Amino acid sequence: MHVPHNLEEEPFVHSNLSISGTLTTMPELPEVETVARDLQRWVAGATITDATISWDRTIRHPQPPDRFAAEISGATIARVTRRAKTVLLHLADGRVMTVALRMTGALIVAEPGTPEDPYARVVFALEDGRELRYRDVRKFGRIGLWPGGGLRSVGAGSGARSKRIAEGARTYRIGEVFSGHGPEPLLRGFTAERFAERLSRRTAKLKTLLLDQSFIAGVGNIYADEALWRARLHPLQTADTLDARDVRRLHRFIRQVLREGIVNRGASFSDYVGADGEPGANAERLAVYRRTEQPCHRCGNRIERIVVGQRSTHFCPRCQREPVASSAT
Ligand SMILES: [Zn+2]
């Protein structure tokens, strides 16, 4: 297998492992979708017999973690999907286990006899002798177990509610857990008209808005920069200044960069690995992200890097002109 060569701290690799997840970069929609598709192939139909939790804070719900372990034991994984940047393991009894990978989370399927992993925070023993391991060097990822129901809606995105759910003692259905998230950009219901409607009321800068998970789900730093470059829109332009053609272009290119990202199994900076440790192939296809000072593929001008809302932002100052009226901060 290929060894991911940018693992922080001590790498853990073994020939009996199938790894899907990221190692140092915040995964976005295409990376999480890749993980979900890998897991669908590897563990759909498998039954969890036991869960061993070695870092309590990885468990978000239910509390205490012992209760989570007891409730997940005996569950069969029916299918694996994604909502926003979270992996959803749908259980045969209707419940849903959520895995938010955050920074360095990875899901690993280990064959029997594979040595223990010091960074495995939760280990699910499977009935067939394999283990599904949640590995997370930095420990930002969270796992929850929720009653089913309510996931079908695309999601209007109201923001504050999901925070309450995360902290609350009451048990919420899986649909409520995601009620604060914006629409899924790749669903058919996410039309250019709907996107225009959502944009028209907003005065935020485009980059900030695209990263806002209550506005649109799943887009992060990489794909926001790429979509804005393709649409020839400046990251600091405010949403309400877009004309109808800008909006249609941005809508089309958001979907395009995400779809291409999925086809290429996510971005790779030696830090994203899919099945069998094979890195995603999308990095070399990126036009602006982490290409500061390199020539723009369209006009040859140098790509610039600025910071917007504490996030590094890459764009071509010639192709993506800043509207005169907006301030460059
Ligand atoms: Zn350019």
List the chain domain ranges: 17-146, 155-181, 192-267+283-315
Q: Identify the band that residue 24 occupies on the pLDDT scale cut at 50, 70 and 90.
A: very low
What separation in Å is there between the alpha carbon of 294 and the centre of ligand 1?
10
Give the residue among 90, 79, 82, 84 at the shortest CA–CA distance from 145. 90
Per-residue pLDDT band at 212 (split at 50, 70, 90)? very high
**What does DSSP say about strands 131-136 and 48-53: parallel, antiparallel, or unpaired?**
unpaired
Number of C-beta neighbours around residue 153 at 10 A: 11
The set of catalytic residues is 27-28, 85, 311
How far are the Cα atoms of 49, 91, 147, 210, 260 from residue 63, in angstroms, in the given order? 19, 19, 14, 33, 39
Instruction: Tally the C-alpha atoms within 13 A of residue 46's C-alpha that lie toward its C-beta.
Output: 22
The dotted CATH code for 17-146 is: 3.20.190.10
Closest CA to 108 of 16, 32, 19, 10: 19
Task: Tell me the CA–centroid distance for residue 303 and ligand 1, in Å.
Answer: 7
Considering only residues 109 and 158, tell me which one the structure prediction assigns the higher pLDDT. Answer: 109
- Which residues, listed in sequence order, are joined to residue 312 by a DSSP beta bridge? 307
CA of 317 to the centre of ligand 1 (A): 7
* Placement of tokens 């995603």 in the chain: 280
Task: Report how far Cα 266 is from the mean position of its chain's Cα atoms.
Answer: 10
Q: What is the pLDDT of residue 37?
A: 93
Q: DSSP 3-state helix, strand, coil percentages of the chain (rounded to 5)? A: 30, 25, 50
Mapping DSSP to helix (H, G, I), strand (E, B) and coil, where does residue 165 land? helix
What token pair was written down for 208? 């900030």
Euclidean distance between CA atoms 182 and 198, whole angstroms: 10
Task: Concatenate the DSSP letters of all residues of 254-299 into one string.
Answer: HHHHHHHHHHTTS--SS-EE-GGGPBPS-GGG-SSTT-TTSBPTTT
pTM value is 0.85
C-alpha R_g of the chain: 20
Question: Please, what is the average pLDDT of the chain?
Answer: 85
Residues 180, 169: Cα–Cα separation, whole Å: 18
Query: Please, how many CA atoms are within 13 Å of residue 74, restricted to the half-sphere of its CB?
Result: 4
Q: How far is the CA of 322 from the centre of ligand 1 (A)?
A: 13
CA 227 – ligand 1 centroid, Å: 13
8-12, 54-58, 151-155 — most confident range = 54-58
The pair of three-digit structure tokens given for residue 149, joined into one six-digit string: 């129901």
pLDDT score of 233 more than 70: yes
pLDDT at 7: 36
Question: Rounded CA gap, 253 and 255, in Å?
Answer: 5
Residue-wise pLDDT tens digits, 262-310: 988 877 544 445 544 555 566 668 899 989 999 999 999 999 999 999 9
Distance 29 CA to ligand 1 centre (A): 26
Q: How many helices (H) and strands (E) does the chain have?
A: 8, 13
Give me the mean pLDDT over the 232-245 stretch: 96
Q: Is the pLDDT of residue 2 over 80?
A: no
Cβ-proximal residues to 284 (8 Å cutoff; 6+ apart), any chain: none
Q: How far apart are CA 170 and CA 122, in angstroms?
A: 24
pLDDT for the residue 201:
82
**Residue 82 amino acid letter:** R
308: CA distance to ligand 1 center in Å?
Answer: 19
240, pLDDT greater than 70? yes
Q: State the CATH architecture for 192-267+283-315.
A: Orthogonal Bundle (1.10)
Q: How many Å lie between the centroid of ligand 1 and the Cα of residue 324? A: 18
Task: Tell me, in angstroms, the distance from the centre of ligand 1 to residue 244's CA.
Answer: 22
Q: What is the 3-state secondary structure (H, E, C) of 1-37?
A: CCCCCCCCCCCCCCCCEEEEEECCCCCCHHHHHHHHH
